[in-house]
Amino acid sequence: MKTRRIFLQKASLSAMALAVPTFNPLSAMTDIMNTHSKDPKTLRVAIMGLGSYGTRVAEAIQKCTRTKLVGVISGTPSKVEDWKVKYNIPAKNCYNYENFDAIKDNPDIDAVYVITPNALHKDQVIRVAKAGKHAISEKPMAVNAADGQAMVDACNAAGVQLLIGYRMHFEPNTLEVIRMRKAGEFGDIRFFQGLCGFVIGDPNQWRLNPELSGGGAMMDIGIYAINGSRYMIGEEPTWVTAQETKTNPEKFKEGIDETITFQLGFPSGVIASCLSTYNMNNLDRFYLNGSKGWVEMHPSTGYGPIKGRTDKGPLDEPIVTHQTVQMDEMAAIIFDGKKPEVPVNGEEGVKDMKIIDAIFKAVKTGEKVQLNLS
């Protein structure tokens, strides 16, 4: 590495010393290496839905090296005007929910990140796909597995990619735990616990409207425990049981779950015991137990920093802005064909939706529901 660095330095000095544009092989080599090391293709993104999370993503993109915010789609004209100024977005890249199909004729936009209420994702992603643009859908990708599969099918038919906003799939401490598990450092996995919840505020927000959210805590915070159990254990569950508790039916109306405890069974015999709630704070914890060791992550899925410890000591991977890493990694997936350690494609999203469908069915019937995620 030292020899290579000295070589490049000499090449650079040689190029600067030349007074005439005579061909210099050392300078040419430097140019070639620089061409391959910089200016990878940039993912030009329009954000659809300019709420709190859309704003968080927009801010994170400002630190990206391979992703650029170039457009907005919103039903609120004042937000569009604010974002145009704040992020220097040209008027021709601004759309509303009625006219955004026109992105088909806009070569400045490569992909649309859909960050709207859950029930809107299906139709919006399908429209994005028909416009010939890659789609990124915030999770959960839809309100049920059938809608999720329709989104996958539409993107496949249009020849575009569908990615899901699984930011934890790129988080360094999470990836280190997955590496340790794959390396056998925890031995045979025996048990997983996922606790996800907080006390939700404004009773009039869209998350408490079943027509927009498709459910309550499960469709918001509970999906982290579902998805986390799969990547922490490294298997796909084959059955689920679930129980619902509702202490405030006025706030948590029909179709909005307040608290659900659920259990997942895996082929190796591992059991996952999880909790999803809108009625308890300080619940953001994963625990994985194996025959040779254990890991606890707390916080496990919050915006950061993620903290954790194993039987061997603390996790101390770099602290990152999750959405910044996610967006640059998605650029590599779309343009370079990069394969992430844990998938973030539409098929991955459909698997989680199948589990959520089964959890709701188990709550309703009181029975163990079999799963087939293949």
Q: Which residues are catalytic?
A: 139, 224
Position 289, amino acid: N
Query: 């974002």: which residue's tokens?
Result: 83
Decide if 239 contacts 371 (C-beta within 8 A): yes
In angstroms, rounded to a whole number, what is the distance separating the alpha carbons of residues 335 and 63?
A: 19
Which residue from 275, 279, 282 is spatially nearest to 261, judged by alpha carbons?
275
Position 168, amino acid: M
Total number of residues shown for the chain = 374
Q: Please, where are the H alpha helices in the chain?
A: 2-17, 25-37, 52-61, 77-86, 121-130, 145-158, 172-182, 210-213, 222-233, 322-336, 346-365
Decide if 296 contacts 302 (C-beta within 8 A): no
In angstroms, rounded to a whole number, what is the distance separating the alpha carbons of residues 65 and 87?
A: 16
